[in-house]
Chains A and B, each alone.
Chain A
Amino acid sequence: DSGVTQTPKHLITATGQRVTLRCSPRSGDLSVYWYQQSLDQGLQFLIQYYNGEERAKGNILERFSAQQFPDLHSELNLSSLELGDSALYFCASSVASGQGGKNIQYFGAGTRLSVL
C-alpha cells in the first residue's frame, strides 16, 4: 500500500458528461501529480500541484482541470467527456516539489474511467 488513496476505483459515464476524481496524498506529502494511462499506452503527465499551487503542467486538455485543497487532497475534473478519455487516471504524491533529484513519487491504485 503506497499510502495514496484514489476514489472512485471505477467510473462509468457517458459522452458529454463531467466527472471528478479524488486523490488523498500520503501523510506529509505536499506534492500531488495526475497522470493518464490509456490502454496499452505509457503514462502521460497531466499536472502537478504543490501545497495548493499549480507547479507544473503537462499534456492536460483544456476540458480537464485540477485543484489542490488546503487539506492537500486533490481533485481532477474532466468535462465534456469523449470516448477517447477512457483511461486509467493515476495520482501520485511526493514530499518535495521538484520532479528531479531523488524526489520519489508514490502512486495510488488509479481510477478506471470508462466513457460510453
Chain B
Amino acid sequence: KNQVEQSPQSLIILEGKNCTLQCNYTVSPFSNLRWYKQDTGRGPVSLTIMTFSENTKSNGRYTATLDADTKQSSLHITASQLSDSASYICVVSGMAGGYNKLIFGAGTRLAVHP
C-alpha cells in the first residue's frame, strides 16, 4: 500500500533555532517528492519538488533532502522565524489505481515560540 509517514507529529521550537522534519514513504513507483507549507485555515503552498535524481533542494531557509534508496526525505528549517509556524506536509507522487497521483502525509505541526 502506498503510504507517506511524517514525524514528529508536532514540534515546538524557539525562534532562531533550527529543526528537521522527517518523511518516510513506501510509494512505488516513485516520481517525485514535494514539501508543502500550510498555514492554519489556508491552502498548502509548495516549498520544494524533487525527483529521484535530486538529493537536495533549497528554498531560502528551507532545505529538503531525499534518499530514494531508503525512501526518506527531510525538511530542514534554518534560523526559524515566528512565521514558520505552520503544518509541513510531505507529498509523494506515485501510481495508484492506474493513475499517477499525489499521496499526502498527515503533516508535522510546527510551532515557533519567541
Distance of B104 from chain A, by nearest CB (Å): 4
Interface residues in B1-41 by Cβ distance below 8 A to A read 31-32, 41
Distance of B49 from chain A, by nearest CB (Å): 5
CA distance A4 to B107 in the complex (A): 22
On whether the beta carbons of A101 and B31 are closer than 8 Å, the reply is yes
Count of residues in B whose CB is under 8 Å from the partner chain: 21
On whether the beta carbons of A99 and B93 are closer than 8 Å, the reply is yes
CA distance A110 to B31 in the complex (A): 27
CA distance A99 to B31 in the complex (A): 9
Interface check A7, CB cutoff 8 A: no
Interface check B113, CB cutoff 8 A: no
Contacts of B46 in A (CB 8 A): 104-106
On whether the beta carbons of A101 and B32 are closer than 8 Å, the reply is yes
Which of B89, B97, B100, B106 is close to A98, meaning CB atoms less than 8 Å apart?
Answer: B100
A interface majority secondary structure: loop
- Knowing A42-B107, A104-B46, A109-B42, the reply to whether A99 touches B89 (Cβ < 8 A) is no
Interface residues in B72-114 by Cβ distance below 8 A to A read 89, 93, 97, 99-102, 104-107
CA distance A43 to B101 in the complex (A): 13
CA distance A44 to B96 in the complex (A): 13
On whether the beta carbons of A45 and B101 are closer than 8 Å, the reply is yes
Distance of A81 from chain B, by nearest CB (Å): 21
Contacts of A100 in B (CB 8 A): 31-32, 93, 100
